[in-house]
Every structure is written in C-alpha cells, then in structure tokens.
Amino acid sequence: MASIKIPTPLRSLTNDEDTIVANASNLKELIAEMENSHPGIAERLLDENDELRRFVNVFINGEDVRFLDGLDSPVRDDDEVSIVPAVAGG
C-alpha cells in the first residue's frame, strides 16, 4: 500500500487525515481508489479531460510525476505520494 500525503486544503475530504493509504499499480488507479473512499477528491486533482490540474503537483518518492509517466506513473507498495497545491505569489 502506498501512503498519500494530503495537503491541508483537501483534508476536509479525508476527515482531516493528513495521510491515507491505497493500493494501485499507477497514479491514475490510485486517484480512483482515493475517490472511492473519499468522494470529491478526484475532481480537485483532475480536470475535465481527466488530466492533472495545472495547479496540482504530485510527487512519487520526491519525483514530480510530470517528469515521470504522468498519471501512468507506477505506484508500488511503500511508495510515498505527495499532493502539493501550487503556490502563487509575488
């Protein structure tokens, strides 16, 4: 099971849990598993084309999935997945 670090803005969907666990072979399946147990989280992560939203960064063991295989990036047992909302400012 992979552990998923949930950022503060999404914790209202996970009953204030900061880490959840799920079992999947890739990131797309992992998001589907998260949606099954925490309805509403997928729409916060994915756009209308089922792609990661521009302002959402996802890392698997510290590696940005945009530089891996995106939603097809493999997820293995004991992997740590971090969801990090983009921060804007100036």
What is the per-residue pLDDT for 69?
Answer: 97
d(CA 42, CA 30) in angstroms, rounded, equals 10
What is the per-residue pLDDT for 90?
Answer: 57
| Domain encompassing residue 61 | 2-85
Residue 31 in any domain: the answer is yes
What is the per-residue pLDDT for 53?
Answer: 95
Mean pLDDT split into 10-residue runs, the chain, 90 residues:
96 96 96 97 96 96 97 97 81
Write the CA distances from 80 to 39, 88, 89, integer angstroms.
21, 25, 28
Which residues lie below 8 Å from residue 50, measured CB to CB, with a gap of 6+? 71
Q: Quote the pTM value.
A: 0.92
Chain-centroid distance, C-alpha 23: 13
Strands (E), 10-75: 19-22, 56-60, 63-64
- Residue 31 DSSP code: H
Residue 90 in any domain: the answer is no
Number of structural domains (the chain) is 1
What is the per-residue pLDDT for 86?
Answer: 82
Q: CATH number, domain at 11? A: 3.10.20.30
Residue 16 in any domain: the answer is yes
